[in-house]
Amino acid sequence: MNKPALSNSQWGSGTILSILKNPVYKGELVSGKRRVTSFKNKKMVKNPPDIWIVVEDAHEAIISSQVWDEVQKIIAKNHVGVRRGGSGKVAMFSGVAKCGDCGAKMTFNRKVYKDYTKEYYRCGRYTNKWRTACQPHTILEGVIYSSVIDDIRGFAKLAFSDESQLVSRITDDNMKHSDKLIKQQENLLNKKERRLAEIDLLMQSLFEDKVSGTVPENIFKRMAKKYDDEYVTLADEIKVLRNEMESQKRSENDIASWIYQIKKCLSIETLTHELVVELIDSIEISDVYEVDGEPQQDIKITYRFENLSSKEKRVS
């Protein structure tokens, strides 16, 4: 079946909502919303709002703070795209389930019939853009639920039986010997910082020689520029190196925390939205296709570390 071409020229409800929630329109600038989990793979994860850097009155506001606050209240009251109808609970896989073709978030739907209730997800791009931009990718929540809980239990068993193997699956080849890597980085950092201190002393000595007249002006300018260039280069390299080391340490802490959480899921009976978000980065859902006349779909679960994904599960 030929799929319709994906168009970026149309605004869906998700795009409009993100604009309405953006504080830039009331004159604020926000940074630090995301960080990399590793300086090697540069994968970005979201930071909690309490550590964002917010600069108020950074530029001229388009709307007043009062109007913006009122809009947020309306959104909080009326936006139910990620909630169960009537229950107020966030849908189990909201924000995590994604279309396997266009990458849009899957929207949760609930239909109540006389004898049963149907809870399912559908491609948000297909839903929001009048069904012209993608295919529905419709899948029952229970089908996703069964695949996810089985997968989590499998990783929990692996965490208990062979934690080192699980860590190796999470980390890439360049990070498997992280202790050695950090030691090398520390040695290099110390070397660069010592050289930076040496340049300070050399610059001071050069200036004193200039004042005393033992160094000609042309030589002083040439040497001063040389030391200044080296100083600037070293300072930049030290900054980058420190950021890489901090990123590496954060990544190790993230892995340790994730392993701890997954171990607690060995005998898990039920899933919660909070647990799903804590462990999983995305769940990609393929559109329905046929194998020997039978409808099938693929589910790919990617955990918070991009090197750790389940094999695509075929469900019918």
Average pLDDT over residues 91-100: 90
pLDDT tens for 97-148 read 999 998 889 999 988 888 888 999 999 888 776 667 788 899 999 999 999 9
Give the pLDDT of residue 311. 56
Query: Looking at residue 146, what is its pLDDT?
Result: 92
Which pLDDT tens digit goes with each residue over 174-232? 455 556 677 788 888 899 889 989 988 888 888 888 888 888 888 888 888 898 888 88
Say if residue 156 is exposed, middle or buried (CB neighbours under 10 Å; 0-12, 13-18, 19+): buried
Q: Which amino acid belongs to residue 292?
A: D
Computed over every residue of the chain, the mean pLDDT equals: 78
pLDDT at 238 over 70: yes
Structure confidence at residue 149 as a pLDDT band (50, 70, 90): very high
Residue 36 dihedral angles phi and psi, to the nearest 5°: -90, 140
Residue type, 287: D
120, 140 contact by CB (below 8 A): yes
Record the tokens describing residue 32, joined without a space. 């630090």
